[in-house]
Structure 1
């Protein structure tokens, strides 16, 4: 897959909730700088984290609004609409940066407003 196809698959699989195949888009030695989870190194670490994702959300959609691809890099502006298992709604604007090598995501970073995600942590001190 080329970079655009990888990025399109990233959103398609996420929106289908197919987290196993979504994780397969990442290189075994991938690095992700995730704004809420911190630095995640290795595809199997990511896979382990994503196993719990369906327990957090009753619905989740990350819809791309603007995609820029240049060679092995991409930036995507998207919008997340989600509902927690407890019924709280989340609406957030997001920017993801991707580096793709040999058809796999080797590095990814995301940037978004963290305030909507506070519903996941009921402790207001955190």
Structure 2
């Protein structure tokens, strides 16, 4: 798959809630700078985060507004429309930067205002 195919697949599976397929898009040694979770290294850490995503969101949509591809790099400006586990809405504009090698995401960073995610970050999941 080329860069555009992988980026399109990324948003397709995220919006379908198919987190297992989402994980297959990353290189085993991926590095992620995530606005809420901080610096992450390795797909194993992302695998551990999937449980929190599944449990912590009752809805999660990340809808691309603009996609820019430059070789093995991409930047996507998007809008997240989500809700925490109890249904409190979350709306946020975001940008994701991706770098790919051998048809896998090797680096990703996202940028957004963290305040809209307070309903997710501050919820209690018993």
Q: TM-score range by the shorter chain?
A: over 0.9
1:117 is aligned to 117
Note the aligned Cα RMSD (angstroms).
Answer: 1.1
SS in 1 for 2:96: strand
Contact 1:30 / 1:42 at 8 angstroms: preserved in 2?
A: yes
What is the CA deviation profile of residues 62-88 of structure 1, one whole-angstrom value per residue up to 9, with x for unaligned ones? 000000001000000000000111221
2:13 is aligned to 13
CA deviation after TM superposition for structure 1 residue 20, in Å: 0.8
Contact 1:19 / 1:51 at 8 angstroms: preserved in 2?
A: no
Q: Are 2:87 and 1:87 equivalent residues in the alignment? A: yes
What is the CA deviation profile of residues 66-116 of structure 1, one whole-angstrom value per residue up to 9, with x for unaligned ones? 000010000000000001112210000000000010100000000001110
Runs (4 or more) in structure 1 with deviation over 3 Å come to none
1:47 is aligned to 47
2:103 is aligned to 103
TM-score normalised per structure 1: 0.94
- The gaps in structure 2 that reach 5 residues or longer are none
How many residue pairs match? The answer is 123
SS in 2 for 1:7: helix
Contact 2:60 / 2:82 at 8 angstroms: preserved in 1?
A: yes
